[in-house]
Amino acid sequence: MLNENFMKYRLKKMARMLTFVGGAFLVLFFVSVSSVAQCSGFARAVAKPELSPYLHDGNYNATILGEGETIVLRKTVFKGQKYRLLVKGVSELPKLHFRVLDADSGLLFDNSQVEFASRWDFDVQTTRTIEVEVSVPDDENPEIDTGGCVAILFGLELD
């Protein structure tokens, strides 16, 4: 009898723990899905309007980045087309640092030289491949790691 009660107690305890763990996984799942979905929402509603009056080329490049992390985007840009590059992060992130490098030769633009501006307008006299390197600087609080959506969008100047 005692063993039966003890087993019932153990089973109830396990069931409670499994419910808690399962619930935690569900919460994490929905939070992560929600975060990722919010990235496209952020890109669409917050970042994309800043391309105006340039037309967004339609490509979607956005992800979640944390402090100290870097991403690179490679794109061919064409002679005769004027572009707007927009690099935008959610407000919780520190100002983003981005550099544009030519695939063959070197540094073309560094936004740290213009107060970490989020956009850069440019054109090219010869078609070439460029790399946009975006970094989230570490902020001054080592105890809290901040992360959030970062969108890298290109706009095309209309004739």
Of positions 116, 128, 138, 139, contacts another protein by CB under 8 A: 128
By rule CB under 8 A, what count of residues binds another protein? Answer: 57
Is 145 a residue that touches another protein (CB under 8 A)?
A: no
Is 104 a residue that touches another protein (CB under 8 A)?
A: yes
Is 120 a residue that touches another protein (CB under 8 A)?
A: yes
Q: Which two tokens stand for residue 31?
A: 């939070």
Strand partners, 155: 56, 84
Give the whole-angstrom CA distance, residue 64 versus residue 89.
9
Rg, the chain, Cα only = 23
Residue 19 or 81: the one with the smaller Cβ distance to another protein is 81
Give the whole-angstrom CA distance, residue 116 versus residue 100.
13
Q: Which stretch binds another protein (CB under 8 A): 3-11, 14-22, 129-137, 139-147?
A: 129-137
